[in-house]
Structures are given as structure tokens and as C-alpha cells.
Amino acid sequence: MCGRLSQYRGIHDFVEALSMPNALANAVGEQPLERYNAAPSTPLALLHLADNILHADLVRWGWRPHWAGDRAPPINARVEKVAHGAFFRAIWPHRAIVPVDGWYEWVDEGDPKKQPYYIRRQDGAPILCAAIGQYATAGREQQESDGFVIITADSAGGMVDIHDRRPVVLAPELAREWLDPATPGERAEQVVLLQGEPSETFDWFRVDKAVGNVRNQGAQLLLPIDS
């Protein structure tokens, strides 16, 4: 996963896709998020469950433990290692969902600049990405060190031609199980290891190279271009 995504719908559209009956504590706002070209360090809407309330907060994309020094905060965590590695141990129990509309990858097709592709669900529904993070809970105020990472897995099928890694995307019922603090860690690990949505769930197409500049925004970035 190359580290660029879109999150342009309103939070209520994402919550509706999740189909959770819980009360919503919405710190994101009522308007469409309109992030068509979100890069690492961007605050993104993050959903997590606490005290039987679904929380929607803006949390920075990227996190590193305090002992990791000045290295750039990772934005992704490999599903094969995340549950048992030392780096993400502190946030592995803090499970969340990053709801997005799609993400971008860049492919070397022989031109001086790589060709960007946009990946989305074939049915047009929001994409529910498994994540873990550090964020405000139990009345704690947000902190400068807060952030989250998206869990990624190996690509499969035709998506391998676009990139060798992709987000772990969960169906709504599995996303709800992932969010539930009562779900044991062992079960949560199995969900992200074995039950992510298959590559056949998605389609992908070339988009304008303007998306390479993070200052460019707008729905026109998502339009397919001729091959």
C-alpha cells in the first residue's frame, strides 16, 4: 500500500455501512470529509468502540512508539507480524476501523512517472479497513503522540499487478467483531489474517497523475482515464 487514500463521504455514510446499533459520539462533524487525496500525517476519521458507544474521531494517519526515536511514523502494519511484534505491542489491543472510499497505488508502466491507479469496491460501498492506534479513550484528551496504522496483507489475484500489499478490508459483520473490545485478541488476529475481503471485491483503474501532488484535491482525481 503506497500511502494515499480517499475519505470523502460524511461520517454518517460510513457508520451506516458498518450497521452498528450503538450510539454515536461524533467528533468529526456532519459535513462530508472531502479528503480526495489524503497522505500520511493527515487527520482521518477513525471509528472505535468504548463503553458500548461508537466513537468517530479525527486521528493522524501514522504512529510510532515513544522509544522509536525520530524515525518516520509507520502508516501500515503487516498482518503477519502485528499481533506479536514488539513495535506495535502497545496499540495492538486498541482496534479501530478506518472507513475510506478507496486508495491509490502507483505502477511502473515504463514512463518517467509511475501511473497512479485508484482502487474501490465494485459495489461502491465504503471500505472498512482494519486499524490499530493510540487515540483518546475513557475521557482522556487527545495527545500529540496519538495516531493509527492500517493493517495490510499480501495482495492476491489481479491486484498483485498493482501492488504487492493491500489494506485488510473487513465485511461489516467482521468489522463489528473486530471493533468489539470483548473479542479476544486471538480471534481478532484470525479475523485479519484469514477473513479479509478478497481481491475480487474491488476494481481498479488508471487516474490522472495529478494525484501525485498531495496539494491536488477534488472528485476529478477519481475519474478513470483512457489507457
CATH number reported for the structural domain that contains residue 34 in this entry? 3.90.1680.10
Cα 17 from Cα 109, distance rounded (Å): 35
Average pLDDT over residues 119-140: 90
Cβ neighbors of 13 (< 8 A, separation 6 or more) are: 126
Report yes or no on 128 lying in a domain: yes
Mean pLDDT score of the chain, rounded to an integer? 92
Q: Would residue 105 show up in a list of annotated catalytic residues for this protein?
A: yes
The predicted pLDDT at position 145 comes to 85
What share of the chain has pLDDT > 70, as a percent? 96
The structural domain count of the chain equals 1
The predicted pLDDT at position 161 comes to 67
Q: Which three cell numbers stand for residue 223?
A: 475519474
Q: Phi/psi at 172 (nearest 5 deg)?
A: -55, -40
For the stretch 86-127, pLDDT in tens is: 999 999 999 999 999 999 999 988 888 999 999 999 999 999
The conformational region for residue 50 under phi > 0 = left, psi -120 to 50 = alpha, else beta, is: beta
Choice among 30, 80, 105, 200 that is catalytic: 105
Average pLDDT over residues 64-84: 92
The predicted pLDDT at position 40 comes to 96
Residue 121's beta-bridge partner residues?
202
What share of the chain has pLDDT > 90, as a percent? 81
Sheet holding 102-107, edge to edge: 35-38, 5-7, 102-107, 115-121, 202-206
CB atoms within 10 A of CB 181: 12
Q: Which range marks the domain in which residue 24 is found?
A: 5-101+124-198
Q: Given pLDDT bands bounded at 50, 70 and 90, which one contains residue 1?
A: low
Cα 107 from Cα 115, distance rounded (Å): 5
Choice among 2, 16, 177, 189 that is catalytic: 2
Residue 61 pLDDT > 90, yes or no?
yes
Report yes or no on 106 lying in a domain: no
Report yes or no on 179 lying in a domain: yes
Q: Given pLDDT bands bounded at 50, 70 and 90, which one contains residue 138?
A: low
Report yes or no on 108 lying in a domain: no
Cβ 103 vs Cβ 35: under 8 Å: no
The predicted pLDDT at position 71 comes to 86
